[in-house]
Amino acid sequence: MRQFNNILVTGGAGFIGCNFIRYIFEQTDYSGNIINFDKLTYAGNPESLAGIAAQHKDKYTFIHADICDTKIVESTLEKYKIDCIVHFAAESHVDRSISGPAEFITTNINGTFTLLEAAKTYWQDRKDVLFHHISTDEVYGSLGDTGYFFEDTPYDPRSPYSASKAASDHIVQAYKHTYNLPVTMSNCSNNYGPFHFPEKLIPLMILNTLGKKPLPVYGEGLNVRDWLYVTDHADAIWKIITQGTIGESYNVGGENEWKNIDVVHKLCELVAGETSEPVDSYKDLITYVTDRPGHDLRYAINCDKIKNELGWKQSVTFEEGLLSTIRWYIKNTDWIKHVQSGEYTKWIEKNYVER
């Protein structure tokens, strides 16, 4: 089992990154240091780690910086003696990539390249280090009614977002083969859970339901996604970086396929149970909007490899995870108010309300 002294987490103030950092401090025996490196774009919120920062002042450091800034990346690796990089930082919303792809190319491709170059230079030929790259199942393209994505499924990205992630995946693999950089990689299905920025399906629907606002569903809502509770994902990443085979990729999924419209109906039912409101008063809010261009029909992950090799498995059922997530949003109104402001609010109004 690999052990690290100083782990650099890029994008650690984002949804999955902050949950991963919380997981390390709350559910593992890790005794080293965590350095959170985040640009704090609209989706990065340091409030998500306020408790961790207060409780672990001696082991947690936050750096407000851009992964595309070569000098700061290089100096961070040297100053904090980084021996593991867990790379979450990315622009990740498909709709935003369609309306403005430039930031996705810059952050997801150039940012990953900057990190790899800095790691290669700083680590030299060391083998007691690791670069772990988090990616998405969207790089594989779209499935029909049957079949699954495996680790060796050919890439077939359909959006600027998935194309930028596919490119970054290939660059990571190239550094493994060309420079013998110790890397691992994971491709995950759709995450959900606490601290999720409310532009994605589940948090948006929860908050709109609670606020009695329209519930916008693309097309007929028949697109299928595989849902993974974020803490289960964090557990998978921890197993990969500590036990996974160097050079290998691992698919991480919830094995939990739902049509988008069925997810919305289930959320309405669960919110009704928490608020004692009639469920139909929420379902009546469902509004069908023009489908997203190039909207992939179905994603489904086969994660036998990580289960068989590393002993990982999901621990949270979808209904348990949804209920826990709904209750988190009900209890954390201050966090919600702070993130629903400025550029983000304007984007939501333009892309959903007007449609």
For helices 201-210 and 260-275, angle between their N-to-C axes, nearest 10 degrees: 40
Degrees to nearest 5, angle at CA 252 with 250 and 258: 150
How far is it, in rounded angstroms, from Cα 343 to Cα 309? Answer: 43
- Three-class secondary structure of residue 36 per DSSP: strand
Give the burial string for 259-290 (b: 16+ CB within 10 Å, else e).
Answer: ebbebbbbbbebbbeeeeeeeeebbebbeeee
Domain borders along the chain are 6-189+230-254+295-316
Active site (catalytic) residues? 137-138, 161
Residue 354 has a pLDDT of: 30
DSSP secondary structure string for all residues of 296-344: --B--B--HHHHHHH-----S-HHHHHHHHHHHHHH-HHHHHHHSSHHH
Q: What is the mean pLDDT of each run of 10 residues along the chain (355 residues)?
A: 97 96 97 95 85 94 96 98 98 85 95 98 97 97 94 96 97 98 97 91 96 94 96 98 98 96 98 96 95 86 98 97 98 87 47 34
Residue found by looking up tokens 């396929």 in the block: 257
How far is it, in rounded angstroms, from Cα 241 to Cα 130? Answer: 7
pTM score, two decimals? 0.93
Residue 45 has a pLDDT of: 84
Residue 80 has a pLDDT of: 98
Residue 295 has a pLDDT of: 84
Tell me the CATH architecture of domain 6-189+230-254+295-316: 3-Layer(aba) Sandwich (3.40)
Contact 38, 10 (CB under 8 A): yes
